[in-house]
Structure 1
Amino acid sequence: MSNAYKSAGVDVHAGYEAVERMKKHVQKTNRPGIMGALGGFGGVFDLSSLQYKQPLLVSGTDGVGTKLLLAIQQKTYNTVGIDCVAMCVNDIVAQGAEPLYFLDYIAVGKNQPQMIEDIVEGVSQGCIQAGAALIGGETAEMPDMYAHDDFDLAGFAVGVVEKDKLIDKGQVKAGDVLIGLQSSGIHSNGYSLVRKIFFKDNDYTLDSQFPELSHSLGQELLVPTRIYVKEILALHQQECVHGVAHITGGGFIENIPRMLSDELTAKIDMDSFEILPIFKVMQRVGKLTQTDMLGTFNLGIGMVVAVPREKLEQAKDILKNSEIKHFVIGEVIDKNQPSQYEGKEVIL
């Protein structure tokens, strides 16, 4: 091939090497329904292999945001792929969908095959956790848009659910109990504020240590987003789910109401669950109010499930089989009182 493209800053041969390196990771994600091999113009999935009667496809797309800047600074690339998958599959499983397949998009300033392989290794790990196949993707080298070591990462997930099993906000009722599934940390939202608190408003570094944290600050901030697919599908299979809220950007305040009709709200007991140490450190260092925290972060709860009260004990029994901690954090109530974000009892 001509060197003309390389003279413009695009290394085609490095791209070929990156593709070869990622193949072994992609192959680990194979599942029934996959057709064809990596490298085609499109990924192909055979829905007829799934035995669904009235299948609905549910899709979701997301990125990792400015958490990537911390990965770049630490040259740690094999966790953010998990984040990317998690942000997408947690959204679609919140509607009851079993993830089927995933595609990624990586944009780089310079195609560095080892870095690309590390990113895709993380994506494949996330896909394995979610039960989804990595059936395609794109790596774009754009030296005029990104600095040499910079990259962006986004993904797209597709899942399937029976038409009569789709979870929507009309199913949640007053009296439903709210179960919170513990997060692994900050997950992938609020990092612009996180970086401002620690590195702009204060002089902390990625190597800084806090007595509350078991890792350096940099390591703590790169803990990958937890994937809740197995837990939500297990609950949904036993008809223990009226609604699910993935606690992402906007925290409790924005996301829990997304599973509720306009006539309902949620009452949360702030003493009922474990607020993870990283959030306590951020609130103290950043001098943030509880309202700030509730409107930005997950506080240690990555997914909230509205469970029929008569199914509560069954739901708790199902979740005992998971390594993820769960807490009864509140209940759904009629919307007849104003929102309240400070204090022990929060009304959303």
Structure 2
Amino acid sequence: MDHAAFAESARAGAAAWDAGAGLPAEVVRSVADAGFLAADLPVEHGGRGWSATEVGELCASLGGVCSALRALVTVQGMVAAAVLRWGDRGQRAAWLPALAGGDRLAAFAATETGAGTDLSAVDTEISATPGGLRVRGRKVWVTFGQSADVFLVLARSGGGLRTALVEADRPGVTVEPVTGQLGMRAARIANVRFDDVTIPAANAIAPPGYGLSHVAGTALDHGRFTVAWGCVGIAESCLDHTATHVGTRTQGGARLADHDAVRALLGRCLAEARAARAVCAHAAALRERGEPAAIAETVLAKYTASRAATAVSEHAVRLHGSAGIAPDSTVGRLHRDAVVMRIIEGPDEVAERHLGDHALRRRR
């Protein structure tokens, strides 16, 4: 089954997952069995060798139906990308096929109460201890933290920030489910405590000092890219739902689509969605060519697409009227998810500063 057909088959359950306990285990297994987890890993590591464009289209299809499905692909891909680039040969052999096949579900544990946008301020510690390494600290808002078999943890150490893989079943790991958040309600988000957790030294990914700039940087870049494409899916899905609604809904004997103001607003939504797709496609092309500008263009893609998803979904809710805020409203659910995507890396000004630097570099 291709990803568009898979996404369509998941559409009927999305509202219930959002309202209930989250993405069911059997759905997670079906994503893995379809080959969508870490699909961009090389075939020799268990992946499908997909291009950036193919992964982007996957995330757009899933994001337009259920942001938690897209988030599952995102977090698995983030950890896999970091291990592929910065893990040693043994770590790649031990972890990547399990991540690609869904035998191990991963989560990226970086954010803390005092370290959100500025991850250099994390307080979690990794230190040497007899038998390996000790991990101590607490992470918050870990996507799929309730389901993860392993966490890629960003922490402080004597030589600078570093990362390590911490299995969820090790003594001292406590998972605290988070529920009732604005959006992404099916993504099994959790806060996670690491109370003097001992792990093998072989679980450390890259040397101290490489944790944020290299390992986490690779993961975050992959995350931004897939989130951007998921936002394209949100915008396009809300546009399609709204075009259908205004084309069939009558008010005062006339279709909503017969009103000039409604058609103008729908046109604005089309422009927003098309622009977001174009920027994401450009970022994908740069990634496939290995262009140095790909990282900055991915920031631009996430910035542009998340703003488009928020705007289009908001217009969709308004044009649906009371149906747009009903508990089972697709556009209402996607709007809540879009708002979360807009703020996950902090206010717009954070991205805008990076993009301003990129604009200045381009003129030199």
Fold shared, TM-score > 0.5 on shorter chain: no
Select the structure with the greater relative contact order (CA < 8 A; seq sep ≥ 6): 1
Specify which structure has the higher proportion of strand: 1
* Shorter-chain TM-score range: under 0.3
| TM-score, length of structure 1 as denominator length | 0.28
